[in-house]
Amino acid sequence: MTVLVDISHRLGDFSLDVRFESAGRLTALFGPSGSGKTTLINMIAGLIRPDKGRIEADGRVLVDTGAGIFVPKHRRRIGMVFQDARLFPHMSVAGNLRYGRWFTPAAERYADMDAVVELLGIGPLMDRRPAKLSGGERQRVAIGRALLASPRLLLMDEPLASLDEARKAEILPYIERLRDETKIPIVYVSHSVAEVARLARDVVMLAQGNVIASGPTEAVMQRLDLLPAEERGEGGAVLDTRVLRHDENFGMTVLGSAAGEIRVPRLAAAAGAPVRIRIRARDVMIATEQPAGLSALNILPGTIVAISPGEGPAVEVGIDCNGATVLARITEQSRHALKLRLGGHVFAVIKTVSFDRANTGAGLPAEADG
């Protein structure tokens, strides 16, 4: 399943010129508000007609302005989860869930009601009206409704943006399950580094209507300079790791990565399970010698492979730790004092407590602390 978008569109002063192709399980369209990502996803869904260009999904041409092709939204079979859920107020949760299913030709219905209800944990809500649901419940029902239309592609437009942190933490595991347990490719719009790093396999980064970077999440997220100003503090390395073991005495989990063992607060995942972590650049210190008498538990040896100017007095240092790159944000003064240069051998120091739930993929709430 691939998605191909190659469009140009003008909206007053704003112009959108985007070309990207994605074949991933979950591709994030990432950028600050006003970068055009919502317009783009609305074009894929068929809610906005681009001035010029071509959109394909799964080899099927949805838009080709040159050939005069524009498949209307109800024939695209593309599911959409809106930021504001948009549940139908005059139907119960069950009615909302059945809505899309009803319009899907029987032969193309692959989504199973019971499985989706179970996947999203919405069984107890079936008879309720949307007005009586919490924001998180509403969003889960909206995801279920889109899934039950058996879409070929699922679009999610900032599904967590209008929720508070607790509700976000409630829904994120469900989206991870969706990504891992179903076969539907997902395009996920977000302006949050935390969400993108945790969920996405691929990232298309947008700014002012243009693609400024695209590729695998670990690679794109290295480009701290491209992050929107308000999200820069959240930026850092993204590492794919596996659970090695749990340390019950101290309530910790030991993860194995290319860079070495990393200790994080106890996760709900079982041994062997893949866990993606994000190490914020601002949480990483650099030592030129193996530190002793230090409280920080994670000390990863490596080689400096990049030094780039950061914001204000900061510089961003990329450290290659046996193939995995860790980013550190330090002051120019420290760099000077430590005489850091490319190729130098250093140690990246990371406190265990700097890993919170937002930057480690934790299991479902029900399994947490289990």
Partner 1 sequence: MNWLLDLTPDEWNAVRLSIKVATVAMLFSLPPGILIALLLARGQFWGKTLLNGLVHLPLILPPVVTGYLLLLTFGKRGPAGAFLAEHFGIVFSFRWTGAALACGVMGFPLMVRAIRLSIEAVDRRMEAAAGTLGANPLWVFATITLPLILPGLIAGAILSFAKAMGEFGATITFVSNIPNETQTLPSAIYTFTQVPGGDEGALRLTLISIVISMGALVASEVLARRVGRRMDME
Report the interface residues with partner 1, using CB under 8 A: 45-47, 72-80, 82, 84, 86, 88-90, 99-100, 103-104, 128-129, 131-132, 145-146, 149
Nearer to partner 1, 151 or 236 (CB): 151
Nearer to partner 1 among residue 87 and residue 349 (C-beta): 87
What is the closest distance, in whole angstroms, from the C-beta atom of residue 158 to partner 1 in the complex? 14
What type of residue is 160?
A: L
Q: Smallest gap, in angstroms, from Cβ of residue 89 to partner 1? A: 5
State the Cα torsion 134-140-144-145 to the nearest 10°: 40
Min CB(174)–partner 1 separation in Å = 20
The nearer residue to partner 1, 78 or 296, going by C-beta atoms, is: 78
Q: Give me the phi and psi of 357, to 5 degrees please.
A: -60, -30
Closest approach of Cβ 130 to partner 1, in Å?
A: 9
**Quick one: 51 or 108, whose CB is closer to partner 1?**
108
Nearer to partner 1, 71 or 212 (CB): 71
Strand partners, 307: 317
Token couple for 51: 């001035």
Closest CB 188 distance from partner 1, rounded Å: 16
CB of residue 32 to partner 1, shortest distance in Å: 23
For partner 1, give the closer residue by CB, 79 or 228. 79
